Amino acid sequence: MRKIILVILIFITLLLLVYKLNPKPVKQFVNKLSKSVTSSNINKDSLTIASRVNPPKGFKRVDYPIGSYQDYLRNYALKPYGSKIINYDNSVYYWQKGHEGILDISVPKNGLQQCADALIRIRSEYLWETNKKDQIGFNFTSGHYCSWSDYAKGFRPKINGNKVTFSKTATANNSKANFYKYLNLIYTYSGTLSLFNELEPVTKADDLQIGDMLILGGTPGHIVMLADQVVNDKGESLFLLFQGNTPAQSVHLVKNLEDASISPWYNLKMDTVIPVSNFTFYNSKFARFK
């Protein structure tokens, strides 16, 4: 032990001596070392979630079937590294310190695509792209179910307080443009509260998987999605998270501001405090699309 301490002291003395004689190389060495530590999990040139973020040492990615929802999320396209979070009105969001990537998904100018809505859209687009359109449907906050299939046939809701009825008032239209009109309707009448009441709860941390959501149902509430998963030899999992927000803004992959040693990975637990970027979940609950 004494030999180790002596070696360290000699190294520090030599470093200080070199710095005194010529500080530039030492500064370059320190800057390079600092950079490698803070960005070791990040590949700045990569443009998907899985390729942007490396697993921490001792962890490997959990296998999911090709074409699954989990595989779809893990390989979601990102904008170039350093892209900023932009609000729906094209203004720059005030907080730019909490993300490692921006998902390549548009932000509608109507301001409706907020936190829950962004995840609803991503889920719906996956079902659309994999020809599972008949599974697209969500509850309003009132509890009434509104499916894309019925909307495409021309059925529209008549809403009076918590009373909702559906009748055929429009011509049938299965187009992609009409699909996004349907999503705008869902954004208007659904949210974190309806999702919390509608979705299947996940009650054990060991059961968490990509596509599950950390959720606070309420008005206001918040919700983030688990975007990737790694596991070590002990069976312990870490996760990446992405979120939309209020006001409606760029969907972004968040840093772990509480644990820089594994950031942007998160060690998720049940019924505990989990800070996520500039929001804190004080009693963590999780849910899953059915």
For residue 35, pLDDT beyond 90: no
16 shares its domain with 123: no
Q: Is residue 220 part of a domain?
A: yes
22 shares its domain with 77: no
Q: 112: closest CA among 140, 87, 145, 133?
A: 87
List, for residues 203-214, the tens digit of each pLDDT value.
999 999 999 999
Q: Is residue 242 part of a domain?
A: yes
18 shares its domain with 55: no
Coil, strand, or helix at residue 283? coil
Q: Is residue 43 part of a domain?
A: no
Structure tokens at 202: 């996940």
List, for residues 12-31, the tens digit of each pLDDT value.
444 444 444 444 443 444 34
16 shares its domain with 94: no
Task: Report the C-alpha dihedral over residues 270, 271, 272, 278, rounded to 10 degrees.
Answer: 90
Structure tokens at 34: 């600092």
Coil, strand, or helix at residue 252? strand
Output the pLDDT for position 161. 84
For residue 63, pLDDT beyond 70: yes
Q: 219: closest CA among 124, 289, 114, 139?
A: 114
List, for residues 164-173, the tens digit of each pLDDT value.
999 999 999 9
The residues, ordered by sequence, that sit 6+ positions from 239 with a Cβ below 8 Å of its Cβ are 208, 210, 226, 227, 228, 229, 265, 266, 268
Query: Mean of the pLDDT values across residues 50-65?
Result: 97
Number of structural domains in the chain: 2
Structure tokens at 229: 């998963």
**Which range marks the domain in which residue 11 is found?**
2-30
Residue 125: Cβ within 10 Å count = 17
Q: What band does 219 get if pLDDT is binned at 50, 70 and 90?
A: confident
Query: Mean of the pLDDT values across residues 27-43?
Result: 52
Query: Mean of the pLDDT values across residues 22-47?
Result: 57
205 shares its domain with 86: yes
List, for residues 237-279, the tens digit of each pLDDT value.
999 999 999 999 999 999 999 999 999 999 999 999 999 998 9
Any idea what DSSP says for residue 70? H
- Alpha helix (H) ranges present in 130-244? 148-153, 176-189, 192-198
Q: Is residue 227 part of a domain?
A: yes
Q: Is residue 97 part of a domain?
A: yes
Residue with tokens 């659309």: 128
Output the pLDDT for position 39. 52
Strands 200-202 and 163-168: unpaired
Output the pLDDT for position 187. 98
Q: Note the pTM of the prediction, 2 decimals.
A: 0.85
**Distance between CA atoms of residues 188 and 42, nearest Å:** 36
Share of the chain above pLDDT 70, in %: 87
Q: Is residue 160 part of a domain?
A: no
Query: Mean of the pLDDT values across residues 178-188?
Result: 98
Q: Is residue 178 part of a domain?
A: no
219: number of CA atoms within 13 Å, CB side? Answer: 6
25 shares its domain with 56: no
